Chain A
Amino acid sequence: RKEVEQDPGPFNVPEGATVAFNCTYSNSASQSFFWYRQDCRKEPKLLMSVYSSGNEDGRFTAQLNRASQYISLLIRDSKLSDSATYLCVVNMGGGSNYKLTFGKGTLLTVNP
């Protein structure tokens, strides 16, 4: 099983659609979870951390299921500017958060 595995994508959706990304991780001892976005040929940027209780930031909702080792990201009312690659990121490095393991990413294109 890969350390972090995401939907391969790509996803093409119309503006206003709801889109969900799924991710699984292999290390049950993982402590921290994040979603990053990466625009084409740019640096990854932190979108949101993922908490056990689930968390929401505007149109974005992240969920964590530790028992299933599964993370999700839901984007509601998608905008053209949401077009990017979404990276599932897991900290496998114990107490510190620098040893991040990134998934390959899922490319999202939002069409007018």
Chain B
Amino acid sequence: NAGVMQNPRHLVRRRGQEARLRCSPMKGHSHVYWYRQLPEEGLKFMVYLQKENIIDESGMPKERFSAEFPKEGPSILRIQQVVRGDSAAYFCASSPPPNSPLHFGNGTRLTVT
């Protein structure tokens, strides 16, 4: 019974490169959420997606960040032209209906050098 799977676990990028973070929700879950945890901070909501739809992106930075959840395949969080301030742990969560408890993946730790 695989949980929420995220990869890679660790990602190192130089400033200006692109980072792509992947998330496969739990089997049977069609709702995906991305959260970011900056160093010494609590997790912050970024975006909520269903298959092929962005439902709520109110927590996403306006520039350089995008997310998708295609019909086939994992959800992708994409960060273009990364900067040092993007260094954080990025957690994906999934749920069956949206009012169910969220199940978190074990995160991708992005380090921008």
Q: Which residues of A contact B (CB under 8 A)?
A: 4, 41-46, 49, 87, 93, 95-105
Contact = CB atoms under 8 A, between A and B. Distances in A.
Tell me whether chain A's interface is mostly helix, strand or loop, or mixed.
loop
Interface of B: 4, 31, 33, 35, 37, 40-45, 48, 56, 58-59, 91, 93, 95, 98-102, 104-107, 109
Given A96-B99, A98-B31, A4 B91 contact: no
Given A43-B104, A43-B105, A44-B91, A105 B48 contact: no
B106 A43 contact: yes
B95 A98 contact: yes
Given A42-B106, A45-B104, A98-B48, A105 B31 contact: no
Contacts of A102: 35, 37, 42-44
Contact of B40 (A42, A49, A101, A104): A104
8 smallest A-B Cβ distances: which pairs?
A102-B42, A43-B104, A102-B43, A43-B106, A104-B42, A96-B98, A99-B45, A103-B42
